Amino acid sequence: MTGRAPDWREDVRRLERRMRAELRAEAEEYERLAALDLLRGRTLADVARELAGRGDIVAVSAGGRTFVGPVVHAAGDLACLRTHREDVDVNLPAAAAVRVVERSPSGGKPGTGPDSFKARLFEHEGAGVPVEVGWAGERLLGVVRAVAVDHVVMDDEGQRWHLATARIAYLASPRA
């Protein structure tokens, strides 16, 4: 026989390349699963805090309306947006959807504010000025008279309303 013996070093190199490719694919899959696990562990409040820090323009659908603007404060179950016409306080558990409309190139400057939606309701009670309240596609323009244990007492043109706090999706007040 006049043939050369096969070069076993080339076989080892092929095997090394295949093993590196398999390890790389496995590492990518672990990274994908870790990212998915992070997404699954977040709450809407976590998302709102992140958006406040980033300064992105967002669209929030709540109570049959969609508000577009940056999240200027987020804490607990509360997200505060500043739109062109109004300041909006969103009760995150009652919001239907949040999406980024435009990414901010420079980041946001989250403001300070109350620690929860209920705390923000108390601020509206103290202000005594008319606000729009939305829930389940309904709207009411009135004054927050009292924040009770599980509901808000509002007056609207001589009528008294008792609104379940958990069902209120937003409060909107015109910007001065």
Same domain, 132 and 75: yes
Under 8 Å between Cβ of 151 and 164: yes
Same domain, 24 and 77: no
Same domain, 68 and 135: yes
The per-residue pLDDT of the chain, averaged, comes to 92
Under 8 Å between Cβ of 91 and 119: no
Same domain, 108 and 56: yes
Residue owning tokens 């706090």: 165
- Quote the domain boundaries for residue 81: 44-174
Count of helices and strands (H, E) across the chain: 3, 10
Same domain, 82 and 149: yes
Question: Structural domain tally of the chain?
Answer: 2
Under 8 Å between Cβ of 74 and 114: no
The pLDDT-based confidence of 109 (bands split at 50, 70, 90) is confident
**Is residue 2 included in any domain, yes or no?**
no
Same domain, 97 and 169: yes
- Residues 46-57 have a mean pLDDT of 93
**Which tokens hold the place of 150?**
């599980």
Same domain, 124 and 89: yes
Same domain, 36 and 49: no
What integer pLDDT is reported at residue 94 of this predicted model? 94
Same domain, 34 and 75: no
The span from the CA of 116 to the CA of 72, in Å, is 14
Alpha helices in the chain (DSSP H): 8-41, 44-54, 117-127
**Is residue 115 included in any domain, yes or no?**
yes
Nearest CA to 77 out of 38, 41, 39, 119 is that of 119
Q: pLDDT tens digits, residue range 70-92? A: 999 999 999 999 999 999 999 99
